[in-house]
């Protein structure tokens, strides 16, 4: 059992609490960098897919896991990021400028949309964001001159200082690009949690009343959370566009929004690890299912809705039996080993709360 | 005359939205949770009736099959609460939202496996014949939908206002702890409301199937019903019906008078406008407590 003895606030907010953790993450990074030498190009593509979903998950996690605002409309922001990047590059900007700008523009749009949405909370916010997700599809069609409408668009070729990157012909280069973006987003997220703003997010999530009492401006904090969340989501959307190779109004549908929300719940709400665990599940579930189906009833039989059905079932089981998701399960296992033989079952028990109506305030 | 025809067909459609919205509101009123799978409940109710009535399946007479289907769905709703939702008792609403979305996926999948993905029609005695009132053509099914919806809304409204059980349901949602102190079996009350909303969904499903073909994706209609419930103000039963009618009437008019791309977004734009300017709906139930 490791004991962390903290003598100052700086000890408490250190990026890596001890050398062991630092070593683990350094090893993980080294593995990620060396991966293209270990796997062939097909699997590199799959890992890239996982990383892109993880970035999108980080974006939603910041809003839902960290600030406690449920959004079922993040596919709309994926779309804004993707289209903005492509339009900017077509306008002549280099990728290295257009890509960050696409995220920032998405963030600003998200922040503006959040201002009226802030008067809503809980269920109503979820409903408003559903409407947003449905509207996005139709608005993309209406903005035909810029977005290409139903026929869609192809993402512009990436050129960074003369180095060309393309998803299908050079998957390894694309993998490294995605890896760098994932690293930046993760570090950004991690640092945000250590900063006052990140603490304010958590305060808003846990109790708006006590957050106000501590001097947190609720509305402003929520707008910032929305903006930052949409910024990361916009980047993920851009990468998703490149990964798909082509996109139109139906690429970023309500189903993507729902998948994204389910992903972070399965992974574990409120943790960075959760976004990555959830991304692994989302990216590999279709393959695992098709292998299982092939073994059981023969691969040629198509069962429509099988993926979403099984996904829904997994999610129901998670919410019922492991509401903290995969990361929560991992924490429990780790604690059990660390404290052996003193771990008790009740250590992770959540306090029950009794519901009161929102209609009488 | 054309306006009148659009209005009438819009009203009939709106009643179906209103019926599904009633299911949303019932559950919200009594448990403060939103059942995102309500549309899929409706679809399941329609398919259960279809399975009991149609010649290629059980071939029961419609007037036997319909009450049976309503009963089956009520029991299903109760069991769903008993085995699944009751475990979430005391957890956040977000968990319930995500759970019911997942439930919708599962129901859609199961219905697809059992009844297939081809659109099917219910052999319903309601779907025969039209009535012509002064040039406005109205299907029998449409008349049935309007009549049943109005009656059901009145019944449920009275149920919540007048009966002991209805009041207990309202109390259970307003403050669970206080309801317990008053001797209300909160968990059983929640089970009953899920049963009731299952029955409502079955009625909506039967009427919807009488108006046209159904397939497992018919549950996606729930999203429009959702808009209806919000426009009416979640938690108000007459509000759900009015919201449904508004959405139902807007649709045919928008598709008649607006350009193609703009017509389908009309209900959602209205939804967003209502949320921005009257966040608690047209029939708001929110009272600010005075200290």
B276 touches chain A (CB under 8 A): yes
The tens digit of pLDDT for each residue in B62-112 reads: 888 899 999 999 999 999 989 888 888 767 777 888 889 899 989 988 988
| Residues near A322 by beta carbon (within 8 Å), at least 6 away in sequence | A328, A329
Contacts of B109 in chain A (CB under 8 A): 305-306, 308-310, 312
**What is the structure's pLDDT at B291?**
46
Whole-Å CA distances, A108 to A90, A247, B130: 21, 23, 54
Residue B106 in any domain: the answer is: yes
The answer to whether the Cβ–Cβ distance between A130 and B223 falls below 8 Å is: yes
The answer to whether the Cβ–Cβ distance between A116 and B97 falls below 8 Å is: no
Q: Which of residues 35-74 of B touch A (CB under 8 A)?
A: none
Both structure tokens of B136: 């406005």
**What is the structure's pLDDT at A107?**
95
Mean pLDDT score of chain A = 86
The answer to whether the Cβ–Cβ distance between B109 and A309 falls below 8 Å is: yes
Q: Is the pLDDT of residue A297 over 80?
A: no
Mapping DSSP onto H, E and C, the string for A239-259 reads: HHHHHHCCECCCCCCHHHHHH
A298 touches chain B (CB under 8 A): no
Q: How many residues does chain B have?
A: 291
The tens digit of pLDDT for each residue in A211-231 reads: 889 999 988 999 999 999 999
Residue B234 in any domain: the answer is: no
The tens digit of pLDDT for each residue in B269-290 reads: 888 888 888 777 777 666 655 4
**What is the structure's pLDDT at B269?**
86
The answer to whether the Cβ–Cβ distance between A265 and B223 falls below 8 Å is: no
Q: How far apart are CA B10 and CA B138, in angstroms?
A: 11
Contacts of B24 in chain A (CB under 8 A): none
- Out of A120, A138, A304, the one facing B275 most closely (by C-beta) is A120
Q: How far apart are CA B147 and CA B140, in angstroms?
A: 11
The tens digit of pLDDT for each residue in B148-166 reads: 999 999 999 899 889 998 8
Residue B283 in any domain: the answer is: no
Q: What mean pLDDT is predicted for residues B199-207?
A: 91
Nearest Cα residue to B97 out of B278, B234, B289? B234
Contacts of A134 in chain B (CB under 8 A): 223, 265, 268
| Residues near B147 by beta carbon (within 8 Å), at least 6 away in sequence | none
Both structure tokens of B248: 């139902």
Q: What are phi and psi of B131, to 5 degrees?
A: -115, 140
The answer to whether the Cβ–Cβ distance between B175 and A132 falls below 8 Å is: no
Q: What are phi and psi of B130, to 5 degrees?
A: -120, 160
List alpha helices for chain A, DSSP H: 9-12, 19-38, 41-60, 74-90, 95-117, 123-142, 144-147, 171-194, 196-206, 208-213, 218-244, 254-267, 272-297, 306-321, 325-339
Q: What mean pLDDT is predicted for residues A42-48?
A: 89
Rounded to a whole number of angstroms, the distance from the CA of A337 to the nearest CA of chain B is 28
Both structure tokens of B78: 């109760």
Q: How far apart are CA A155 and CA A337, in angstroms?
A: 48
Does the bond joining A341 to the residue before it have cis omega, within 30 degrees of 0?
Answer: yes
> Which residue segment(s) compose the domain that B137 sits in?
14-219
Rounded to a whole number of angstroms, the distance from the CA of A305 to the nearest CA of chain B is 5
From the centroid of its chain, how far is CA A101?
19
The tens digit of pLDDT for each residue in B14-50 reads: 888 888 898 888 888 887 788 889 999 999 999 999 8
Residue B157 in any domain: the answer is: yes
Residue entry with tokens 């799959």: A46
- Out of A116, A315, A323, the one facing B276 most closely (by C-beta) is A116
Q: Tell me how many domains chain B contains.
A: 1
Contacts of A312 in chain B (CB under 8 A): 101-106, 109
Residue entry with tokens 């003193």: A342
**What is the structure's pLDDT at A219?**
86
Does the bond joining B276 to the residue before it have cis omega, within 30 degrees of 0?
Answer: no
**Test the A interface: residue of B102, B243, B291 with most A CBs within 10 Å:** B102
A352 touches chain B (CB under 8 A): yes
The tens digit of pLDDT for each residue in A161-198 reads: 877 787 778 888 899 999 999 999 999 999 999 899 99
Contact in structure between B58 and B47 (CB atoms under 8 Å) = no
The tens digit of pLDDT for each residue in B117-149 reads: 888 888 777 767 777 777 777 778 888 888 899
Residue B275 in any domain: the answer is: no
| Residues near B210 by beta carbon (within 8 Å), at least 6 away in sequence | B122, B124, B126, B127, B141, B144, B145
Q: Which of residues 68-97 of B touch A (CB under 8 A)?
A: 84, 87-91, 93-95, 97
What is the gyration radius of the CA atoms in chain B, in angstroms?
19
From the centroid of its chain, how far is CA A234?
11
A319 touches chain B (CB under 8 A): yes
The answer to whether the Cβ–Cβ distance between A357 and B262 falls below 8 Å is: no
**What is the structure's pLDDT at B235?**
76
The tens digit of pLDDT for each residue in A302-356 reads: 677 788 888 889 888 988 888 888 888 888 888 888 887 777 777 777 666 666 6
Cα dihedral across residues B252, A123, B19, B61: positive or negative: positive
B105 touches chain A (CB under 8 A): yes
Q: How far apart are CA A230 and CA A135, in angstroms?
A: 17
- Out of B93, B102, B223, the one facing A312 most closely (by C-beta) is B102
Residue of B nearest to A325 (CA): B95
Residue B174 in any domain: the answer is: yes
- Out of A126, A139, A354, the one facing B97 most closely (by C-beta) is A126
ipTM: 0.83
């Amino acid at each position: 059992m490791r004991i962390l003895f903290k003598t100052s606030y700086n000890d408490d907010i250190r990026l890596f609490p001890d050398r062991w953790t630092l070593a683990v993450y350094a090893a993980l990074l080294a593995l990620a960098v060396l991966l293209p030498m270990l796997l062939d190009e097909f699997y590199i593509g799959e890992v890239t897919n996982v990383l892109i979903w993880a970035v999108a998950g980080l974006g939603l996690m910041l809003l839902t896991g960290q600030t406690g605002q449920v959004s079922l409309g993040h596919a709309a922001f994926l779309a804004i990021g993707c289209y903005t990047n492509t339009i900017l590059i077509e306008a002549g900007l280099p990728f290295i400028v257009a890509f960050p700008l696409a995220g920032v523009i998405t963030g600003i749009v998200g922040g503006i949309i959040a201002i009226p949405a802030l008067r809503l909370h809980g269920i109503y916010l979820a409903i408003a964001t559903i409407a947003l997700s449905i509207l996005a599809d139709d608005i993309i069609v209406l903005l035909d001159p810029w977005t290409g409408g139903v026929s869609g668009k192809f993402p512009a070729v990436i050129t960074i200082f003369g180095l060309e990157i393309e998803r299908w012909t050079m998957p390894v280069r694309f993998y490294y690009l995605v890896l760098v973006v994932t690293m930046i987003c993760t570090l950004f997220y991690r640092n945000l949690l250590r900063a006052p703003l990140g603490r304010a997010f958590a305060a808003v999530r846990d109790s708006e009343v006590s957050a106000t009492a501590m001097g947190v401006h609720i509305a402003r904090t929520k707008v910032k959370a929305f903006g930052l969340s949409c910024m990361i989501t916009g980047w993920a959307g851009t990468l998703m566009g490149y990964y798909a190779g082509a996109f139109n109004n139906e690429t970023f549908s309500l189903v993507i929004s729902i998948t994204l929300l389910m992903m972070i719940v399965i992974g574990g709400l409120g943790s960075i690890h959760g976004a990555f665990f959830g991304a692994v599940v989302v990216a590999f579930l279709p393959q695992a299912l098709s292998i299982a189906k092939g073994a059981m009833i023969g691969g040629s039989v198509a069962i429509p809705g099988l993926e979403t059905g099984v996904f829904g079932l997994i999610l129901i089981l998670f919410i019922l039996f492991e509401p903290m998701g995969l990361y929560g399960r991992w924490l429990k296992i780790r604690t059990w080993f660390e404290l052996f033989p003193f771990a008790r079952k009740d250590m992770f028990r959540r306090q029950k709360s009794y519901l009161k109506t929102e209609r009488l305030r | 005359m054309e306006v009148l025809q659009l209005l009438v067909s819009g009203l009939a459609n709106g009643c179906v939205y209103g019926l599904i919205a009633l299911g949303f509101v019932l559950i919200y009123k009594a448990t403060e949770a939103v059942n995102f799978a309500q549309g899929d409940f409706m679809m399941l109710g329609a398919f259960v009736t279809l399975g009991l009535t149609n010649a290629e399946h059980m071939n029961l007479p419609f007037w036997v099959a319909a009450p049976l289907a309503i009963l089956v769905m009520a029991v299903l709703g109760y069991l769903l609460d008993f085995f699944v939702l009751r475990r979430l008792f005391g957890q956040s609403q977000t968990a319930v939202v995500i759970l019911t979305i997942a439930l919708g996926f599962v129901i859609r999948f199961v219905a697809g496996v059992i009844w297939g993905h081809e659109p099917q029609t219910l052999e319903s005695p309601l779907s025969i014949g039209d009535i012509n009132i002064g040039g406005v053509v109205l299907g029998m099914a449409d008349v049935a939908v309007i009549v049943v919806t109005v009656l059901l809304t009145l019944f449920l409204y009275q149920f919540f206002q007048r009966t002991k059980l209805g009041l207990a349901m309202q109390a259970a949602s307003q403050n669970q702890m206080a309801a317990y102190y008053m001797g209300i079996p909160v968990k059983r009350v929640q089970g009953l409301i899920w049963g009731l909303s299952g029955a409502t969904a079955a009625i909506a499903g039967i009427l919807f199937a009488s108006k046209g073909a159904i397939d497992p994706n018919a549950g996606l209609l729930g999203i429009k019903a959702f808009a209806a419930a919000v426009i009416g103000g979640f938690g108000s039963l007459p509000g759900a019906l009015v919201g449904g009618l508004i959405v139902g009437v807007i649709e045919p008019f928008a598709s008649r008078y607006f350009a193609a791309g703009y017509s389908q977004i009309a209900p959602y734009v209205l939804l967003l406008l209502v949320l921005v300017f009257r966040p608690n709906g047209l029939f708001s139930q929110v009272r600010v407590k005075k200290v």
